[in-house]
Structure 1
Amino acid sequence: MAAITGSILFYSMSCLVLLICTMLFIAKSFSVQVLNSGTKPRTPPSPPALPVIGHLHLVGSVIPKSFQNLARLYGPLMQLRLGASKTLIVSNAQVAGEVYKTHELNFCYRPEFGSSDHDTYTGSYFITAPYGLYWRFMKKLCVTQLLSTSQLGRFTHVRDQEVKNLLDSLLQCSREAKACDLSLKLTSLTNNILCRTAMSTTCDAEHIYRLVRGCLELGAKLSLGEVLGPLAKFDLFGYGRKVAKVKGELDQILETIMEEHEKELSHKTCEEEERKDMMDILLQVYKDPNAEVKLKRNDLKAFFLEILLAGTDTTSVALQWAMAEIINHPGVLNRLREEMDSMVGTRRLVKESDVPNLPYLRAVVKEVLRLHPSAPFALRQSAEDCSINGYDVKGQTRTLVNVYAIMRDPQVWPNPEEFLPERFLEGNAMEMKGQDLSYVPFGSGRRGCPGASFALTVMHSTIAALIQCFDWKVKGGTKVDTTEGSGFSVGLAKPLVCYPITRLDLFSV
């Protein structure tokens, strides 16, 4: 009993010290702000806050929707304090334009989360790198080589094979009248495509994915630890050390794959040179003494970690939402199928080269990404003080552009909560590059997602094949449960479990 009492006392005292430190930090920050400026700054509107926790009590499980609801009360630019961390939330296209265009260079930065003490890749990440020589060099590599149209074309056979592998497994389920977890199968598909495209390997794909999932889950917890402000660097909950352990395992796998590539690179034939994967390209840059930027080995491994973290779940979640919405809207499914039967026929499997002739398929994908963006937030950080929407924004301010809210804005989108692919046909066939800031599924500006073409290519061909070859029956009901999951990513709350019913057996065609 004495031990239990002592533990409770220790825990209580620890919490008290934590609360006092956080309150002192907030009070000091406020005092410095007032002293350093002769006049009181015009700060963005903010809901009433509670001591210590700030606005955390106002944030529900579906975070983008919570911020959207708060924006309806406090405006398209508001300031929230999540514990000790202050964040600006942008919720409409007009204000997003000031971040993405008017002050683009000032917001060409992304904040980092967690302590660098437990991350061996600190300083090597591309996604969070400061806007400078290294970031510009890596972005140029992505656009011109790693994720270019020609590089995607070299790996068409990989995507075709993985889609056919998926269809084969679904045909087997159909023959046995078994339900399948389509969520798992789509995640496996995207992970295999990424591993083969980036590193020409599938031997470690499943193990890599488990580690990637661990990084994502622990990373989300680590980012929530930012509410502790300066105390976050002490890694009080141990998430930083756990992430470091998972990244250490990934590092060993990546190092092994890199060594294998280095051995093979010098023996490649001219034909094999034409099929260089991302790792081959980066290793050549790494070994080039005349390269504009001298890459370190850690830079390469950090890049592949980011590719896996950013690409696997986002594309898989988008595919899951696409199938859920199509199954729940029979009219959309029938129109998709009619378009494919008309343009492709029923004697061969749809190909990537057919997509330009399938406008309704492209409209469906656009509507999926409008209603269910894979990255509901675009994260930025200001470099210097500026004015946004008439309010004063200090340098180093974290800014979240709520893409989820922008693409459901009723002032821009009629019936914004409804799934209506027709809105993207004819005169409203919006492009995906973020020029129209009311539609930004892949962000906008210099920091826009460089992998957009890859994601769209996988989505179009996979959805087309699944609709062409199968009818779908939902396990345990007539419709898919489209309840949104908790957290930042807003995937389906429940797995997408269905019975595939063979419509056309085109696997061997």
Structure 2
Amino acid sequence: MALELVLLILFLVLAISIISRMLYHDHLPPSPLALPIIGHLHLLGPLIHRSLHNLSLRFGPLFSLRLGSVPCIVVTSPELAEEFLKTHELTFMSRPELTSIQTLTYNSSFIFKPAGAYWKFMRKLSMTELFNSHSADKFLSIRDQECMRLLRLLAKKAQSYEAVDLSEEIRRLCFGIIGQMIAGKSAMTVPAREAWLMVSEATAIAGEMNFCDFNWVWKKLNLDGYRNKMERLQRRVDERLEAFIVEREELRKKHKKIDGGGSQVGQREVDFLDVLLDLLDAESSEAAEVGFSRLHIKALLADFFSAGIEPIAILLEWALAEIINHPKMLEKARKEIDRVIRDGQLVRESDVPNLPYLQAVIKETLRLHPPLPLLMKICGKQCKIGKYFIPENAFLFVNLWAIGRDPTNWENPLEFWPERFLHLDGRDQTSTLIDFKGQHYQLIPFGSGRRICAGVNLTMKIVPRLLAAMIQCFDWKVGGSDCNKMNNNNVLDMNEEPGLTTRRANNLVCVPVARLNHNIIDP
């Protein structure tokens, strides 16, 4: 009798579980058939944004997946993106804290931290010290310096007709700019290649679809060794960041002078790292209220180096690759630059507003190659979108890559055609008014709303000017390199590397050919 009672209870529990699951899934958007335990993970390839795009062709612009035990919602249309990210912005304010991000940033990533007191404090601090209009002017000399350093290197390579790995040199430039913005000249004591190689490795690992993020048992057991791999990388990152901070602390001690029992920094210019270290000494401040610590400084440095180097470098690489593959567009951009810039002058940041075709090239590059192909959010509380209920803690994937290639949004979406962002006589150009600052959901490569990328303005200071200078000063010859993979049409291979970002699968290696009198860039 007791055994029968136990079996009856087990049967009832199982029946209730099955019925609840059926009712629960009836409230979710359509979904393909799932497998036990892993759910739909088997449907995702290395390039996750492409896999989700292919699924959207079968299930529509709004569908659901179950990755392990986590419900996920996938959006591939601008209208639905606006519904989730604008209408229900407060519900989808936070980003999921993935194992890789937590490990690499001491579980303190400003970019991935939930929208609470710490996030608000760090957002305010970074905007005040680094990303406002005053800072843009303050750091202009750094951007000029790094731009000129790269142009002079290219001019030297052009004299010997020597190939240049632009992927590497662009990342070196980005590290130079971001590093000096954060820590002044002392940042240049860090080996640039070592720094951005760690950043590249981190973004590649973070972009893997790690099963332990979607199954709590797997996460606890660490059966696939993923956590061990992340911890090894984190130890290398931590060692570099700690040495960097210790060096700055020693420099600060050296420059401090005792004055009437107090202390003050000498004549050395104070930078962002100084501001962060000063916060540690504050006895009563907003920083103390959020528990600001040394680990937060390291997490912030890791955030800014990764978010500052990769997206800018990726955008520049793709823009160069596209115009190299489209010589007529390259020539059109060059003619515009030559028309605006007087003879003997190098293009400057202040010239960019007068270069609409160049700006259209960058917009078109962002449409086809958003540096971050998937915008990831997490549902803060259950909500209703249309006829569907989205459960609390569900992951939201907004497929920016797919939205940029949707034929319902764009004419000839697979064609690289910057003219779509310009007025053309006799042709309706609805995309003329589209910008990428988060208001037009056909093109939101930097996100939207309160959590739009804080560095979008910095990116748009660096990329157009450098792209214009590289077009103005050089022709570009490709081919014959192990890094450049050419397809049957003798154009650059435009495949992507798996990872969190849409980095090119192969480095961009070109031979610069001088086209101007390089007195304008000689020291």
Q: Among residues 275, 278, 283, which one is paired with 2:277 in the alignment?
A: 283
| Aligned mates of 1:39, 1:156 — CA distance in 2 | 54
Superposed displacement of residue 215, structure 1:
2.3
- Provide the residue aligned with 1:403 in structure 2: 400
- Provide the residue aligned with 2:318 in structure 1: 321
| Aligned mates of 1:31, 1:186 — CA distance in 2 | 58
| Aligned mates of 1:387, 1:468 — CA distance in 2 | 52
- Provide the residue aligned with 1:467 in structure 2: 471
Superposed displacement of residue 31, structure 1:
6.0
| Residue identity in the other structure for 1:44 | P
Question: 2:477·2:511 contact (CA, 8 Å) conserved in 1?
Answer: yes
| Residue identity in the other structure for 1:351 | R
Query: Could you tell which deviates more after superposition, 106-115 or 256-265?
Result: 256-265
SS in 2 for 1:131: coil
Say if 1:154 and 1:262 are closer, same or farther in 2 by CA, change over 3 A. farther
| Aligned mates of 2:151, 2:116 — CA distance in 1 | 44
Question: 2:39·2:65 contact (CA, 8 Å) conserved in 1?
Answer: yes
Superposed displacement of residue 380, structure 1:
0.3
The answer to whether the aligner puts 1:77 opposite 2:62 as a matched pair is yes
In the TM superposition, what whole-angstrom CA distance separates every residue of 1:448-486 from its partner, at most 9, and x where no partner exists?
111111122111121011101100111146422222333
The 5 A counterparts of 1:184-333 are 184-200=168-184, 201-204=187-190, 205-221=192-208, 223-265=210-252, 273=269, 276-294=270-288, 295-333=292-330
Superposed displacement of residue 302, structure 1:
0.3
Superposed displacement of residue 49, structure 1:
2.7
- Provide the residue aligned with 1:483 in structure 2: 495
Superposed displacement of residue 126, structure 1:
0.9
Superposed displacement of residue 76, structure 1:
1.2
Give the TM-score, by structure 2 length: 0.84
Superposed displacement of residue 222, structure 1:
7.0
| Aligned mates of 1:30, 1:496 — CA distance in 2 | 58
| Aligned mates of 2:205, 2:360 — CA distance in 1 | 35
Q: Among residues 478, 501, 509, which one is paired with 2:513 in the alignment?
A: 501
Superposed displacement of residue 304, structure 1:
0.7
| Aligned mates of 2:54, 2:105 — CA distance in 1 | 37
In the TM superposition, what whole-angstrom CA distance separates every residue of 1:49-81 from its partner, at most 9, and x where no partner exists?
334443334333432122112112111111123
Question: 1:326·1:332 contact (CA, 8 Å) conserved in 2?
Answer: yes
| Residue identity in the other structure for 2:198 | L
- Provide the residue aligned with 1:131 in structure 2: 115
- Provide the residue aligned with 1:381 in structure 2: 378
Question: 2:61·2:77 contact (CA, 8 Å) conserved in 1?
Answer: yes
Superposed displacement of residue 401, structure 1:
0.7
SS in 1 for 2:475: strand
Say if 1:394 and 1:324 are closer, same or farther in 2 by CA, change over 3 A. same
Q: Aligned-pair RMSD on alpha carbons?
A: 2.7
| Residue identity in the other structure for 1:325 | E
Superposed displacement of residue 435, structure 1:
0.9
Superposed displacement of residue 270, structure 1:
9.1
Question: 1:384·1:395 contact (CA, 8 Å) conserved in 2?
Answer: yes
Superposed displacement of residue 188, structure 1:
1.8
Say if 1:33 and 1:469 are closer, same or farther in 2 by CA, change over 3 A. farther
Superposed displacement of residue 490, structure 1:
2.6
| Residue identity in the other structure for 1:386 | C
The answer to whether the aligner puts 1:98 opposite 2:95 as a matched pair is no
Question: 2:203·2:499 contact (CA, 8 Å) conserved in 1?
Answer: no
In the TM superposition, what whole-angstrom CA distance separates every residue of 1:102-124 from its partner, at most 9, and x where no partner exists?
111111111112289x9485442
In the TM superposition, what whole-angstrom CA distance separates every residue of 1:225-284 from its partner, at most 9, and x where no partner exists?
4354431232222232232232223223323332343454565889854xx433123223
| Residue identity in the other structure for 2:496 | E
- Provide the residue aligned with 1:458 in structure 2: 462
Question: 2:372·2:501 contact (CA, 8 Å) conserved in 1?
Answer: yes
Count of equivalent residues: 479
Say if 1:362 and 1:40 are closer, same or farther in 2 by CA, change over 3 A. closer
| Aligned mates of 1:227, 1:44 — CA distance in 2 | 19
- Provide the residue aligned with 1:151 in structure 2: 135
The 5 A counterparts of 1:116-127 are 119=103, 121-127=105-111
Question: 1:101·1:445 contact (CA, 8 Å) conserved in 2?
Answer: yes
SS in 1 for 2:72: strand
| Residue identity in the other structure for 1:494 | N
| Aligned mates of 1:496, 1:475 — CA distance in 2 | 10
SS in 2 for 1:177: coil
Q: Among residues 67, 89, 98, which one is paired with 1:113 in the alignment?
A: 98
Q: Which runs of 5+ in 2 are unaligned?
A: 1-12, 257-263, 424-428, 481-485
- Provide the residue aligned with 1:3 in structure 2: none
Query: Could you tell which deviates more after superposition, 66-75 or 53-62?
Result: 53-62
- Provide the residue aligned with 2:437 in structure 1: 433
In the TM superposition, what whole-angstrom CA distance separates every residue of 1:473-506 from its partner, at most 9, and x where no partner exists?
1114642222233344232222212221111123
Say if 1:37 and 1:105 are closer, same or farther in 2 by CA, change over 3 A. farther
- Provide the residue aligned with 2:260 in structure 1: none
The answer to whether the aligner puts 1:166 opposite 2:150 as a matched pair is yes
Q: Percent same amino acid among aligned pairs?
A: 37
Question: 2:207·2:501 contact (CA, 8 Å) conserved in 1?
Answer: no
SS in 2 for 1:247: helix
| Residue identity in the other structure for 1:244 | E
Question: 1:403·1:440 contact (CA, 8 Å) conserved in 2?
Answer: yes
Query: Could you tell which deviates more after superposition, 358-367 or 188-197?
Result: 188-197
In the TM superposition, what whole-angstrom CA distance separates every residue of 1:270-323 from its partner, at most 9, and x where no partner exists?
9854xx433123223333334223221111110110111222122111111000
